[in-house]
């Protein structure tokens, strides 16, 4: 054990000297490690997020005249707090496995000497990757993983900017209660969710919240992600004919459900999709015309022309060749901007300084690219101002319909479909 | 004296490896990952290589080991490693339950049946609240005592894994030399001939399967101790089974050091190609990984060790 | 019987015919050469991408896509045979798993590199949308795939059992050395089998793409189903794969509808293991 402790101390000292050296050399870029699923089943999400972060880094390094009017960091020339150091993103692929996520986290910390980490999309992988960061004392900012237990581990280096499942559930609940008050039928609600970590955790939180709010979930259907066929499930729905249908699905299943519902010619009065698959740009591009009037939640709301999300969206669109920012990419981008802000205020790349700066984060709503009320972390590292907007599919695009403060359109119901 | 030189150098190298790469945590970890993969593939080798029963469902045992370790932590608060013997015992029982109906099947039918059982267990595990459902379960977030094995450095893991692998290979060596090894080879060459010689083929295949299952479970427990998390996909996923097979086959199945050689090639290949190309997000990692496997299979279908070990070509069927 | 239940069974039968369609190529080479192709799912995936390309580049529907996909994947089959399979057949059975698994990864990520990770879908109007017949709804593209599944299976069966080429292929699969003595060139027959298997798989992919989604990893979802279908039916039996496909399709649909979608795979796997318990050579395989 003694040799080990000694080596750890030596490594820590080495890191510390490097950190100091990094501070002294003003022009040396600050490295940020980014772990995303860049291959495997979630590669679409990972690759979109990667492009969003690249847009973010370009804005900070090279500046953007319009954004600079609102965001102090968008003036270009790197991070002023670090004497103009530019940001260098180092991407790594978690391959969709917790093991690869952890191996890459270690590599980014020990080989690339990154100042902080961002990632890792899937909750299970965020869990293993952030455990390595915690043991090495490197800040880890998570922008997308919603599993509740991530912030319950007593970690000191873990910060999460995304809203969690409970926020989504509340958003749906209040939306449905408004609709009920407006006279729409919401007596029976069907909850259809895929059976991996994402679908299961969100579904159970929604079920709990709805029970508290007196909304009646009459049918709950769990199915395996990447199913080869969903006709039996749609037939079950068609038979019970619920007033409200809520989907918690990945892209593959979203595509199959959309196609199958049209094939079997059935639609509910209100259809809600919990993001994910139904927000995938590939889905929106090819199937938007078959889900007209679909209600969704998103962390992205395009907002008024000239607002932060609007300007970032224009840059992102240029980068991707026509795709809008969506929930996943905007949450990743927001996590990056929060970290960049903290780095700037830290005035150095020593982990402890960044950690302190992250803890002191206090960003206001007008600085947000995601639809949050701001960013402020509690003791557990959770952003208490995280929020979601409710959106609706209108002629190939999601527009914001709730909450009132952000809404750009009124909701049009019932669900039209195709 | 001379014939002990190369093995001697290799043993010293294996023992000194963590010291040689002491300042490079990624390489320290790489050594541990190689050994862990070699444990899994060597365990598979007992039934898949020596007895010739190609199981593509060993993730069942691996997952049992991993889950046993995380369950004793989650539900009882014990250090995860204490779940290892439990996982091994359960896996022996499970191997008997799976082996009795499936080991009668011949060739590819056995492989397919093991795939089906593996998928079955994966789906069922994702519906069990006791096992954390689809969300999976995490080990101790922060080390409580040294027994939680939550080290920052990979060096302790390296030596633990090296010890386990040495024990497993020693055991395999004894089996190979003994009566059971003789029977298993006979079964592999021709089960019918083995039976006619009075070998109780079914029983010995089952013994090999149970032993193989026990050590696959141990590999799973050790995995959990190192990575601290398991969910249905990373515990019971078919890729875990396939990787065990591929590693053993690449090095040389049915040979004592075959799986270790396979792990020595494939694990660094996977890690380095991911580190080099993974960040581009263009899928090069797996293109290279796949292409190299194809090339080795094309030119050395009996595995890398067939280059050095002419005897192994005799086993080609 | 309620009309919903009839609809479930009809859907299951159509699904089963599709399973048979994408399994027929696998069972052919499996029976002919005792080779398991772990890259089979990725052959299907490439067939699907052929259809997507035909649609996006030429605006063509299945009538253009099917022959193109058949040619492309047939060629891929022959190339795989000459460059890889021919050589790994000399080694132990494990070499097949090793070689075709490597091939699977390579093809999957070559598609990933070339087409990107995004999901592609074809418009549902491509085969005339959906229609209702006697209270049961049908989807044009699924009906087409189901009918073609039956046709391809029967065609393969007839070729193997009723033609001179077929008997030569079977002779090679029985005993390559003896066949060679009778003047049959085993390699040529085996290459032909890979070509036919590839073509059938390409057709399957091109038809599935019409109602499914296409992504580089879609092969994984389909491969395990194909393995189960083929061994359920019996290696080498094209008709066995058809029967097994139909049974699996109906059992899946019924169990998803009556028990719950999460358990449908569990029920199929249990059924599969039970079938092997009573018939270790599959439903229609040779003992």
- Tens of pLDDT, residue by residue over A108-153, are 999 999 999 998 899 989 999 999 999 999 999 999 998 888 998 8
* Mean local confidence (pLDDT), B211-233: 95
How confident is residue C129, by pLDDT bands cut at 50, 70 and 90?
confident
In a domain, B96, yes or no: yes
Same domain assignment for residues A180 and A219:
yes
Same domain assignment for residues A133 and A275:
no
Percentage above 70 pLDDT, chain C: 99
- Tens of pLDDT, residue by residue over B16-31, are 998 888 778 899 999 9
Percentage above 70 pLDDT, chain A: 94
Same domain assignment for residues A193 and A113:
no
DSSP helix, strand, coil percent of chain C (3-state; round to 5): 75, 5, 20
Instruction: Answer yes or no: do B155 and A123 touch at CB < 8 A.
Output: no
Same domain assignment for residues A152 and A173:
no
Q: Domains of chain C, with CATH numbers?
A: 3-278 (1.10.3470)
Q: Which residues pair with A375 in a beta bridge?
A: A363
- Tens of pLDDT, residue by residue over A263-283, are 888 999 999 998 888 988 888
What is the residue-averaged pLDDT of chain C? 89
Q: Which residues of B touch C112 (CB under 8 A)?
A: 282-283, 286
The Cα C27–Cα C48 span in angstroms is 20
> Most confidently modeled of A217-226, B18-27, B156-165, C83-92?
B156-165
Same domain assignment for residues A190 and A78:
no
Same domain assignment for residues A117 and A54:
yes
* Mean local confidence (pLDDT), C139-150: 89
Instruction: Answer yes or no: do A232 and C221 touch at CB < 8 A.
Output: no
How confident is residue B194, by pLDDT bands cut at 50, 70 and 90?
confident
In a domain, B53, yes or no: yes
In a domain, B204, yes or no: yes
Other chains touching C, judged by 3 or more CB pairs under 8 Å: A, B
- Tens of pLDDT, residue by residue over A57-95, are 999 999 998 999 899 899 988 999 998 999 999 999 999
Name which of B24, B146, B229 is nearest A127 (Cβ-Cβ).
B229
Residue in B with minimal Cα distance to A47? B281
What is the residue-averaged pLDDT of chain A? 88
In a domain, A81, yes or no: yes
* Mean local confidence (pLDDT), A241-258: 92
Decide if pLDDT at A389 tops 70. Answer: yes
Torsion from C-alpha of B190, B194, B195, B197, nearest 10 degrees = 140
Give how far Cα C199 sits from Cα of A58, A139, B130, C24, C196, Å: 48, 53, 47, 10, 5
Contacts across the A-B interface (CB distance below 8 Å): 122
Instruction: Answer yes or no: do C266 and B101 touch at CB < 8 A.
Output: no
* Chain B residues 250-309 within an 8 A CB cutoff of chain A: 271, 274-275, 278-281, 283, 285-286
Choosing among B59, B112, B134, which should be mutated to test the C contact, i.e. which has the most C CBs within 10 A?
Answer: B112
Same domain assignment for residues A213 and A252:
yes
Of the listed ranges A406-410, B224-228, C144-148, C264-268, the least confidently predicted one is: A406-410
Percentage above 90 pLDDT, chain B: 66
Pairing of strands A244-248, A270-273: parallel
In a domain, A408, yes or no: no
Q: How far is A253 from chain C (nearest CA, A)?
A: 9
Instruction: Answer yes or no: do C276 and B291 touch at CB < 8 A.
Output: no
Q: What is the DSSP string of B39-82?
A: HHHHHHHIIIIIS----S-THHHHHHHHHHHHHHHHHH---GGG
Same domain assignment for residues A144 and A170:
no
Which pLDDT score is estimated for A302? 79
In a domain, A352, yes or no: yes
How confident is residue A42, by pLDDT bands cut at 50, 70 and 90?
confident
* Mean local confidence (pLDDT), A391-416: 87
Q: Which residues of A touch B285 (CB under 8 A)?
A: 39, 93, 95
The Cα A117–Cα C59 span in angstroms is 45
The Cα A88–Cα C77 span in angstroms is 44
Which candidate, B126, C9, C259, C129, places its Cα nearest to that of A225? B126
Residue in A with minimal Cα distance to B137? A124
Half-sphere exposure of C92 (CA within 13 A, CB side): 29
Which candidate, A160, A37, A126, places its Cα nearest to that of B229? A126
* Mean local confidence (pLDDT), A178-199: 90
In a domain, A413, yes or no: no
In a domain, B308, yes or no: no
- Tens of pLDDT, residue by residue over A285-297, are 889 889 999 999 8
Other chains touching B, judged by 3 or more CB pairs under 8 Å: A, C
How confident is residue B309, by pLDDT bands cut at 50, 70 and 90?
low
In a domain, B140, yes or no: yes
Decide if pLDDT at A4 tops 70. Answer: no
Q: How far is C127 from chain B (nearest CA, A)?
A: 33
* Mean local confidence (pLDDT), B305-312: 68
Pairing of strands A389-394, A397-402: antiparallel
Decide if pLDDT at A8 tops 60. Answer: no
- Asked whether C18 and C145 are in contact (CB, 8 A), the reply is yes
CATH number at residue A49: 3.40.50.2300
Decide if pLDDT at B127 tops 90. Answer: no
Name which of C211, C212, C253 is nearest A232 (Cβ-Cβ).
C253
Which pLDDT score is estimated for B312? 43
Decide if pLDDT at C128 tops 80. Answer: no
In a domain, A332, yes or no: yes
Q: Which residues of C touch A282 (CB under 8 A)?
A: 118-121
Same domain assignment for residues A115 and A140:
yes
Same domain assignment for residues A16 and A144:
yes
Instruction: Answer yes or no: do C235 and B317 touch at CB < 8 A.
Output: no
In a domain, A407, yes or no: no
- Tens of pLDDT, residue by residue over C9-59, are 999 999 999 899 889 899 888 888 888 899 999 999 999 999 999 998 888
Residue in B with minimal Cα distance to C100? B294
What is the SS3 assignment for A29?
Answer: coil
Decide if pLDDT at A13 tops 70. Answer: no
Contacts across the A-C interface (CB distance below 8 Å): 108
Of the listed ranges A18-27, A182-191, A321-330, B56-65, the least confidently predicted one is: A18-27
Helices in A160-263 by DSSP H: which ranges?
165-181, 197-212, 231-240, 251-263
Q: Show the domain range for A171.
A: 166-298+390-402
Which pLDDT score is estimated for B310? 55
Which pLDDT score is estimated for A404? 82
In a domain, B121, yes or no: yes
What is the tally of structural domains in chain A? 2
- Tens of pLDDT, residue by residue over A334-383, are 999 999 999 999 988 999 999 999 999 999 988 999 989 999 999 999 99
Give how far Cα A292 sits from Cα of A153, A395, A404, Å: 42, 7, 21
Name which of A43, A227, A282 is nearest C261 (Cβ-Cβ).
A227
Q: How far is B133 from chain A (nearest CA, A)?
A: 8
Decide if pLDDT at B218 tops 90. Answer: yes
Which candidate, B229, B143, B73, places its Cα nearest to that of A8? B143
The Cα B305–Cα B18 span in angstroms is 26
Which pLDDT score is estimated for C79? 96
Instruction: Answer yes or no: do A251 and C117 touch at CB < 8 A.
Output: no
Q: Which residues contact A69 (CB under 8 A, 6 or more apart)?
A: none
Decide if pLDDT at A2 tops 70. Answer: no
Decide if pLDDT at A1 tops 50. Answer: no
* Chain B residues 181-210 within an 8 A CB cutoff of chain A: none
Instruction: Answer yes or no: do B302 and C91 touch at CB < 8 A.
Output: yes
Which pLDDT score is estimated for B315? 44
Q: How far is B123 from chain C (nearest CA, A)?
A: 7
Apex CA A160: angle with CA A301 and CA B24, to 5°?
130
What is the tally of structural domains in chain B? 1
Q: ipTM score of the complex?
A: 0.89
Decide if pLDDT at A306 tops 90. Answer: no
Same domain assignment for residues A322 and A395:
no
Name which of B106, B120, B290 is nearest C103 (Cβ-Cβ).
B290
- Tens of pLDDT, residue by residue over B90-118, are 999 999 999 998 999 988 899 999 999 99
> Most confidently modeled of A229-243, B271-285, B296-310, C115-129?
A229-243
Q: Which residues of C touch B296 (CB under 8 A)?
A: 98, 102
Choosing among B98, B286, B296, B314, which should be mutated to test the C contact, i.e. which has the most C CBs within 10 A?
Answer: B286
Name which of A38, A99, A135 is nearest B227 (Cβ-Cβ).
A99
Give how far Cα B152 sits from Cα of A133, A180, B80, B155, Å: 10, 54, 17, 9
Q: Which residues contact B112 (CB under 8 A, 6 or more apart)?
A: B56, C227, C228, C230, C231
Decide if pLDDT at B316 tops 50. Answer: no
In a domain, A417, yes or no: no
Q: Show the domain range for B33.
A: 26-244
Which candidate, A221, A222, A197, places its Cα nearest to that of A42? A197
What is the residue-averaged pLDDT of chain B? 90
Decide if pLDDT at A15 tops 50. Answer: no
- Tens of pLDDT, residue by residue over B165-193, are 999 999 999 999 999 999 999 999 888 88
Strand segments, DSSP code E, in B71-156 are: 137-138
């Amino acid at each position: 054990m003694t040799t080990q402790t000694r080596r750890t101390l030596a490594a820590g000292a080495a890191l510390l000297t490097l950190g100091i050296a990094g501070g002294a050399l003003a022009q040396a870029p600050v490295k940020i490690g980014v772990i995303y699923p860049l291959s495997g089943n979630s590669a679409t999400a990972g690759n979109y997020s990667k492009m969003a972060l690249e847009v973010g880094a370009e804005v900070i390094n090279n500046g953007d005249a319009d954004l600079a009017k609102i965001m102090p960091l968008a003036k270009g020339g790197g991070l002023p707090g670090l004497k103009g150091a530019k940001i260098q993103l180092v991407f790594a692929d978690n391959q969709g496995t917790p093991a690869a996520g952890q191996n890459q986290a270690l590599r980014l910390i020990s080989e690339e000497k990154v100042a902080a980490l961002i990632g890792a999309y899937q909750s299970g992988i965020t869990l293993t990757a952030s455990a390595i960061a915690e043991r090495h004392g490197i800040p880890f900012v998570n922008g997308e993983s919603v599993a509740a237990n991530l912030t319950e581990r007593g970690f000191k280096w873990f910060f999460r900017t995304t809203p969690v499942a409970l926020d989504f559930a509340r958003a749906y609940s209040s939306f449905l209660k408004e609709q009920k008050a407006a006279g729409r039928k919401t007596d029976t609600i069907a909850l259809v969710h895929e059976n991996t970590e994402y679908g299961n955790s969100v579904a159970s939180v929604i079920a709990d919240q709805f029970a508290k709010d007196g909304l009646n979930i009459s049918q709950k259907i769990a199915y395996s992600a990447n199913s080869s066929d969903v006709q039996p499930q749609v037939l079950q729905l068609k038979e019970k004919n619920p007033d409200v249908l809520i989907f918690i699905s990945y892209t593959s299943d979203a595509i199959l459900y959309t196609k199958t519902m049209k094939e079997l010619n059935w639609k509910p009065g209100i259809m809600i999709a919990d993001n994910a698959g139904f927000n995938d740009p590939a889905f929106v591009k090819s199937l938007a015309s078959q889900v007209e009037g679909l209600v969704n939640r998103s962390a992205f709301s395009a907002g008024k022309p000239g607002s932060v999300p609007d300007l970032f969206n224009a840059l992102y669109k240029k980068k991707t060749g026509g795709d809008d920012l969506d929930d996943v990419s905007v949450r990743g981008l927001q996590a990056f901007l929060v970290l960049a802000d903290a780095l700037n205020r830290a005035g150095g790349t020593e982990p402890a300084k960044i950690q302190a700066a992250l803890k002191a984060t206090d960003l206001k709503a007008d600085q947000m690219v995601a639809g949050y009320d701001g960013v402020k972390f509690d003791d557990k590292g959770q952003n208490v101002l995280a929020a979601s907007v409710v959106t609706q599919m209108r002629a190939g695009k999601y527009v914001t319909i709730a909450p009132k403060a952000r809404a750009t359109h009124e909701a049009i119901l019932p669900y039209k479909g195709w | 004296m001379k014939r002990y030189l190369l093995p001697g150098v290799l043993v010293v190298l294996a023992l000194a490896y963590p010291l040689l790469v002491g300042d490079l945590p990624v390489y320290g970890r790489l050594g541990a990952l190689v050994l862990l993969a070699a444990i899994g593939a060597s365990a598979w080798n007992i039934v898949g290589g020596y007895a010739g029963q190609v199981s593509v469902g060993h993730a069942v045992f691996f997952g049992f080991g991993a889950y046993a370790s995380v369950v004793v932590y989650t539900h009882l608060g014990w250090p995860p490693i204490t779940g290892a013997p439990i996982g091994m015992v359960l896996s022996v029982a499970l191997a008997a339950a799976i082996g009795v109906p499936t080991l009668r099947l011949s060739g590819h039918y056995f492989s397919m049946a093991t795939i089906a059982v593996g998928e079955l267990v994966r789906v069922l595990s994702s519906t069990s609240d006791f096992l954390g459902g689809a969300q999976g379960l995490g080990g101790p977030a922060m080390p409580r005592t040294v027994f939680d094995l939550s080290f920052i450095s990979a060096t302790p893991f390296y030596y633990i894994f090296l010890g386990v692998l040495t024990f497993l290979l020693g055991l395999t060596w004894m089996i190979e030399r003994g009566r059971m090894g003789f029977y298993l080879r006979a079964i592999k060459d021709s089960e019918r001939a083995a039976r006619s010689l009075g070998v109780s083929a079914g029983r010995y295949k089952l013994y090999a399967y149970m032993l193989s299952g026990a050590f696959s479970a141990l590999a799973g427990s050790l995995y959990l101790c190192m990575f601290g998390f398991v969910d249905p996909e990373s515990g019971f996923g078919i890729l875990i089974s396939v990787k065990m097979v591929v590693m053993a086959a690449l090095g040389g199945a049915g040979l004592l050091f075959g799986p270790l050689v396979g792990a020595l090639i494939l694990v660094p290949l996977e890690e380095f190609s991911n580190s080099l190309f993974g960040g581009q997000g263009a899928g090069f990692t797996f293109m290279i990984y796949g292409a190299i496997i194809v090339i080795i299979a094309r030119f050395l279908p009996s595995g890398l060790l067939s280059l050095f070990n002419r005897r192994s070509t005799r086993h080609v069927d | 019987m309620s009309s919903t239940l009839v609809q479930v069974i009809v859907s299951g039968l159509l699904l089963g015919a599709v399973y048979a369609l994408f399994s027929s190529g696998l069972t052919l080479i499996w029976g002919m050469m005792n080779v398991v192709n772990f890259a089979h799912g990725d052959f299907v995936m490439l067939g699907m991408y052929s259809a997507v390309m035909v649609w996006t580049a030429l605006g063509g529907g299945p009538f253009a896509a099917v022959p193109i996909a058949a040619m492309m994947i047939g060629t891929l089959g022959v190339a795989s045979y000459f460059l890889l399979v021919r050589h790994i057949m000399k080694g132990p059975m494990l070499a097949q798993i090793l070689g075709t698994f490597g091939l699977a990864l390579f093809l999957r990520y070559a598609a990933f590199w070339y087409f990107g990770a995004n999901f592609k879908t074809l418009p549902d109007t491509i085969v005339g949308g959906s229609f209702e017949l006697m209270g049961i709804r049908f989807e044009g593209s699924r009906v087409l795939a189901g009918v073609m599944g039956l046709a391809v299976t029967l065609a393969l069966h007839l070729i193997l059992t009723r033609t001179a080429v077929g008997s030569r292929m079977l002779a090679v699969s029985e005993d390559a050395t003896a066949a060679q003595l009778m003047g049959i060139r085993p390699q040529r027959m085996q290459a032909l089998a890979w070509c036919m298997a590839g073509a059938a798989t390409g057709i399957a992919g091109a038809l599935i793409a019409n109602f499914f989604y296409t992504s580089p990893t879609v092969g994984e979802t389909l491969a395990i189903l194909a393995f189960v279908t083929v061994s359920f039916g019996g290696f080498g039996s094209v008709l066995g794969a058809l029967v097994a496909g139909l049974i699996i399709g109906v059992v899946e649909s019924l169990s998803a509808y009556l028990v719950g979608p999460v358990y449908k795979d569990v029920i199929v796997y249990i059924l599969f293991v039970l079938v092997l318990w009573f018939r270790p050579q599959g439903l229609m395989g040779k003992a």
